Amino acid sequence: MDWSPLWTYALDWANLLLRWAHVITAIAWVGSSFYFVWLDNTLTRPTDPALQGKGVGGELWAVHGGGFYNPQKYLGAPPKVPSNLHWFYWESYSTWLTGFALFTVLYLFNAGTFLIDKTVHNWGPVAAIHTALAFLAGFWLIYDVICRTLGKGPKGDARVGAAVFAVVVFASWLACQLFAGRAAFLLVGAMIATAMSANVFFWIIPGQRKVVAAIQAGEPVDPVHGQRGKQRSVHNTYFTLPVLFAMLSNHAGWAHSHPHNWLVLVLVMLAGALIRQFFVARHKTELAGARAPWGWAASGVALLLAVAVWMAPAPLPLQPQRPQPVAETPEQTFARVQTVVEQRCVLCHNAQLANKGVRLDSPEAIRQHAQAIHQQVVVLKAMPMNNATQITEAERALLARWHTQMASAPP
């Protein structure tokens, strides 16, 4: 008995459920991260002497959902820690765990299809898998060393930012030289996200635990733990928008299939970081009553527009008037389309291996999935996966003409 259809079906369910869980937990993590960065930048010094006497350095009044809230932040540490102290870490851990599980199910289990594009780099699945995992661990180790060695002093943040940016640029270029474009974009996002979660696991939460332990033991609290946690938390907020773009880029075949795809990735991620800087700086300027720093947002948007203009397809040259060839009939066009589909698509979409539940091994099935074929092959250029069957641009154009013929045909 052939169990491969059941295995494919099980993987499809795992893919759906893990993707669902990953998006939910990522929303929770990104939301809490954005909220606390905003909160830190909008706190005001309390005027109540009682609060000042307790060591409260900043407070905020807010209204939401029909209720009023008054969060307060202590300058160092509170005199005692309540038993119902809430810890923010499962949002981060759950996001990384579901993301890595999804990466495993979709990319590592199908490395020959999803990680490897032999026109980019001809190697085997085992080497590709080990290299992909090395990207995740290697970036965290390099980033951590940069933070610990360059992050001290008044210009530490600038030095760390420049060094980390250089590492990300190199990693983006290298990933696009080794992996299929779609996988390379995702892998760069995953390596940065791994560093974000590792910041929480190795620095932020352990530092907070040491602070809590010192308070409970009646010992003085070392402020370095709060400083380190704050530094890594700020890094995480700047990583967020670049990571989100990299994770969503698998839907943008025109981006990860570009000849200079690594540069596209770097520039769009940089634009995301600039836009995030606008929001962070805006919170501070609003509190001080100063003008919003629109220059950061304008720079990010201008960079996105520049990338879009740079990548825009060249207009087709005007052709001199020539005698028009006899137009193909719809039946003739479909006959050619069926030949292309049989050569380029049926290998993975047949009765024995109907990937994603799609069969294209009959004229009826091809017509039934005409819209999906056009979307995946012509618009997104996501199929054939990594162009494993070497479909040509002329064949994609043929599929586009056929789709137009079908759309304009009378009902």
The per-residue pLDDT for range 321-366, each reduced to its tens digit, is: 555 555 678 888 888 888 888 888 887 888 766 677 788 888 888 8
How far is Cα 102 from Cα 98, in angstroms, rounded to an integer?
6
Is the pLDDT reported for residue 191 higher than 90?
Answer: yes
Is the pLDDT reported for residue 17 higher than 90?
Answer: yes
Instruction: Spell out the residues 6+ positions from residue 406 whose beta carbon is closer than 8 angstroms to its own.
Output: 330, 367, 370
What is the full DSSP assignment across 75-138? SS--SS--TT-----HHHHHHHHHHHHHHIIIIITTIIIII--TTT----HHHHHHHHHHHHHH
Six-digit token string for 76: 């160092």
Task: Tell me the pLDDT band of 150, cut-offs 50, 70 and 90.
Answer: very high
Average pLDDT, integer, range 143-150: 96
How far is Cα 38 from Cα 281, in angstroms, rounded to an integer?
10
At 67, which helix (H) or strand (E)?
strand 67-69
187, 68, 199: which is closest to 120 by C-alpha? 187
Give pLDDT tens digits for 240-299.
999 999 999 988 888 998 999 999 999 999 999 999 999 998 887 776 677 889 999 999
How far is Cα 383 from Cα 344, in angstroms, rounded to an integer?
9
How far are the Cα atoms of 90, 117, 132, 321, 408 from residue 189, in angstroms, in the given order? 20, 19, 12, 49, 41
What is the number of other CB atoms lying within 10 angstroms of the CB of residue 110?
Answer: 14
Amino acid 80: pLDDT: 87
Of 144-148, 371-375, 399-403, 407-411, the least confident:
407-411
Amino acid 48: pLDDT: 92
Amino acid 153: pLDDT: 84
Which span out of 124-128, 290-294, 332-336, 390-394 was modeled with the highest average pLDDT? 124-128
* DSSP category for residue 44: B
* DSSP category for residue 220: P
187, 195, 184: which is closest to 386 by C-alpha? 184
Instruction: Spell out the residues 6+ positions from residue 322 whose beta carbon is closer than 8 angstroms to its own.
Output: none
Is the pLDDT reported for residue 165 higher than 90?
Answer: yes
Give pLDDT tens digits for 32-83.
999 999 999 889 999 999 999 889 999 999 999 999 999 999 987 888 888 8
Amino acid 322: pLDDT: 57
* pLDDT above 70: percentage of residues in the chain: 93
Average pLDDT, integer, range 205-225: 91
Q: Phi and psi (nearest 5°) for 218?
A: 70, 25
How far is Cα 341 from Cα 293, in angstroms, rounded to an integer?
53
Is the pLDDT reported for residue 239 higher than 60?
Answer: yes
Amino acid 278: pLDDT: 94
Six-digit token string for 347: 């290998």
Task: Tell me the pLDDT band of 11, cut-offs 50, 70 and 90.
Answer: confident
Is the pLDDT reported for residue 387 higher than 80?
Answer: no
How far is Cα 357 from Cα 5, in angstroms, rounded to an integer?
9
Average pLDDT in the chain: 89
* pTM, rounded to two decimals: 0.82
